[in-house]
Chains A and B, each alone.
Chain A
Amino acid sequence: MAYTDKVIEHYKNPRNVGSMDKADPNVGTGIVGAPECGDVMKLQIKINEQSGVIEDAKFKTFGCGSAIASSSLVTEWVKGKTIDEALKIKNTEIVEELSLPPIKIHCSVLAEDAIKAAITDYKKKKA
């Protein structure tokens, strides 16, 4: 299978790989996927309490090159966005940006889910 240059670029130089403190009240953690399915994404976002803006994002992903690229891309996209703006990111935008083939669309769905899961976790902490 041939990968697009953008997927290869993210795979070779992934942005924002790493972990943040799960216990930090300003950090939201989303883990989506399952090892049996071959994809698990962990996305963490750090939110500025005053402004509601996502200040930092980190990811770790078990999955194919497209899954790694999708999660790397969303860490770039969510940074600087408010929670509401981040929630508007659609998987189709990821597909378009990375030119993912139909067989890899589930990677983009997972990345969108990861954003939602991280925000849900953050909101739960604040509730």
Chain B
Amino acid sequence: MKLPIFMDYHSTTPVDPRVLEEMIPYFTNDFGNAASRNHAFGWKAEEAVEHSRERIASLINCDPKEIIFTSGATESNNLALKGVAEMYAEKGDHIITCVTEHKAILDTCKRLEKLGKRVTYMAVDHYGQINLDDLRKEITDKTILISIMFANNEVGTLQHVHEIGKIAKEKGVLFHSDAVQAVGKIPVDVQAMNVDLMSLTAHKLYGPKGIGALYVRKKGPRVRLVAQMDGGGHERGMRSGTLNVPGMVGFGKACEIAQQVMPEESKRLAGLRDKLRFGIEKELDEVYLNGHPTERLPNNLNMSFAYVEGESLLMGMDDIAVSSGSACTSATLEPSYVLKALGVGEDLAHTSIRFGLGRFNTEEEVDYVMNKVISNVKRLREMSPLYEMAKEGIDLKKVQWSATTE
């Protein structure tokens, strides 16, 4: 077993060797500009790009022409929200999203608010899901877009995308979903789910960084966007810029592999994830699962270890790469806004750890991580005044904590 162990697959993934192999010729021999229509170098590049588009389309069940390549999900989210807001300005000015979205959605919405649009940020329940009746009530005749993520990047909770799509269609409102964590991990079908726009990225599914896509529905309804990047009119005029051919080739191959291995891989990862969870729960008291117990990504585990601060726990596991919702690991000194939205108290948010399992994790690694978590939590609890007080029967919620002089 090689150390350190990477178990932070929600942040990014390594490029699958099969993906890299297919990309390499497009850096050197087949380096053409896909927009060069009059020679063989350009034709070869264009052919590769179109083949990739087909592979991506196949994974989410859409037409290849509906795939618009971007630099990644942040750009896709920006393009979807700003592009729709600008294009449909005459129809309305209202967008509905939710509080646990990625910053690429939330900050884009804030920008749109500054530009005079109205945004509703829906609350979520303690699993991280929006209420569908509330969603219906929020929709007005000025609503042009609903943007709700497929799966949350911190707690792995799946939204009821199928039902949201139905509601959006019934009300004649466009539906965008940031699906970066879901695509390649669980079945995603834009037809069956009535999704009109969807953000994807390659580096979360064993493809390269710097390449993503926005799915834009062409029929029923035909979605139109105002491009946010002006130039040569690439990508059906929606995203100008010379095509990143090797990246697109890698993205396509990664999608093809994901489609082939998904049923088996998701089962294997869910098995390892559950082994990790139940193994930890067997040895430690006062451990809490964050997110939904079943409606979650197969590779996600997010737990709070009461009385043990997350960053100090990470520090004790310096040969394991996981992440924490603790404030100390963020630049803002605020604990995770996602956990807060789920109603996880700030005290427990500081103690949370996110495990993201992936293709290259082994059972041996899971055992190692499990034992390391257990021994470190035990050690740090021995050092924790809160654990001691709790064991003495003191209700920590009733303690009058001193404010620091700071």
Contacts and interface: CB of A to CB of B under 8 A. Distances in A.
A86 interface: no
25 contacts: A11-B312, A17-B382, A17-B383, A31-B385, A33-B404, A34-B402, A35-B346, A35-B347, A35-B350, A36-B346, A36-B350, A37-B346, A37-B404, A38-B328, A60-B385, A60-B388, A61-B383, A62-B309, A62-B384, A62-B385, A63-B309, A64-B328, A65-B315, A113-B404, A113-B405
A106 B333 CA distance: 11
B108 to A, nearest CB: 27
Contact of B309 (A3, A31, A60, A64): A64
A10 to B, nearest CB: 11
B329 interface: yes
User: What band does the interface of chain B fall in when counting residues whose beta carbon is under 8 Å from A?
Assistant: 20 to 34
Contacts of B309: 38-39, 62-64, 67
B390 to A, nearest CB: 10
Contacts of B405: 109, 113
Interface of B: 307-309, 311-312, 315-316, 326-329, 331, 333, 335, 345-347, 350, 382-388, 396, 401-406
Contacts of B347: 35-36
A11 B317 CA distance: 12
Contact of B406 (A8, A19, A35, A109): A109
Interface of A is mostly: mixed
Interface string A62-78: 11110110000000000
Interface in A35-70: 35-42, 60-65, 67-68
Interface of A: 1, 3, 8, 11, 14, 17, 19, 31-42, 60-65, 67-68, 103, 106, 109-110, 113, 117
A61 B385 contact: yes
Nearest to A19: B388
Nearest to A14: B383
